[in-house]
Copies of this chain bind each other. A is one copy, B any other.
């Protein structure tokens, strides 16, 4: 508990022979509104700047019942996607004068519930959450307690809370259409965690696009089961063993794709000739592989920015508005692998 200057409004006021309230009013920027003499304002402002006096946000929060802090509850910060999300949320929050309390659920609902409780105790003004999925009663509880909330990336529909996500359905659809255009008719898919809404949307988009192209979906084309490279590796092995071997694969996460590449290489097959690969989520290394990976890019930066902004809109609103469902477009980047 350290203040840079060690001074507070009281000591500043004493030093200037003014009352704390006057100091408070001026430093809150309401000097003109309350008609404090220009002269006095100047004195206060310059003295504050010089002595490095800043309001104690704790005391302030206690009084006005706002902490100007938001919680960011994500399933796994070591996942580059969420790291990038955290980055843009933090930047947007700082711009708006909010601090960010970070909580990492480690993909465990139990940890997520605990974090939710701890954050509530900290009296955050609002929460941005990418739910782990599965049980969400702890998030329900927050909602009932009127916690302003925005869901991002992963969406729990039943929560009835504003959400910001990429067009996962459309992104998968685009990828499949691209593959179809390249002449593929047997297109498999490596899925991530099925309980995850983003994954579910992608699988739906994949199936819809197959239908559109007059291709009958076969359930043995659905491999994977989580977002790991291992899952991609074994899933691809299973797919390659199929009697009707797929000529293309859509992976729902880039580690899945990496696993796929691995299996393909070990079989001495060629990409994209023997097997074309498209995957969700770009990464610095995706374009550096040979062949470079074709990817469906999510607008991560915008996702975080938008989620933060939506939350701030909710916080600024006097009364609760209806939950919005915001979808940001994905972008297909075709490179060598397809």
Contact = CB atoms under 8 A, between A and B. Distances in A.
Interface of A: 1-6, 54-59, 61-62, 65-67, 69, 72, 76-80, 83-84, 86-87, 90-91, 94, 99-104, 106, 114-115, 117-125, 141-142, 145-148, 229, 255, 258-259, 261-262, 265, 283-285, 288-290
A163 to B, nearest CB: 19
Contacts of A123: 1-3, 56-58
Given A2-B142, A145-B3, A106 B83 contact: no
Contacts of A259: 288
A147 B79 CA distance: 31
B83 A99 contact: no
Across the A-B interface, give the 6 residue pairs with the lowest CB-CB distance, nearest first: A83-B83, A102-B102, A1-B65, A2-B147, A4-B120, A258-B288
Given A58-B58, A104-B87, A3 B288 contact: no
B91 A83 contact: no
B104 A90 contact: yes
Nearest to A79: B83
22 contacts: A2-B142, A2-B145, A2-B146, A2-B148, A3-B123, A4-B121, A6-B145, A57-B123, A62-B62, A69-B122, A78-B80, A80-B80, A83-B86, A86-B86, A86-B102, A90-B103, A90-B104, A101-B102, A229-B288, A258-B285, A265-B290, A283-B285
A83 B90 contact: no
A204 to B, nearest CB: 27
Q: Is the interface of A mostly helix, strand, loop or mixed?
A: mixed
B100 A101 contact: yes
B101 A101 contact: yes
Query: Which has the most chain B C-beta neighbours within 10 Å: A76, A80, A125, A141?
Result: A80
B255 A284 contact: yes
Contacts of A122: 57-58, 69, 99
Contacts of A83: 77-80, 83, 86
A80 B61 CA distance: 34
B90 A77 contact: yes
Contacts of A125: 1
A336 to B, nearest CB: 12
Nearest to A65: B1
Contacts of A117: 4, 54
A58 B54 contact: no
Contacts of A94: 103, 114-115, 118
A141 B284 CA distance: 37
A134 to B, nearest CB: 20
Nearest to A102: B102
A124 B6 CA distance: 14
Nearest to A146: B2
A258 B284 contact: yes
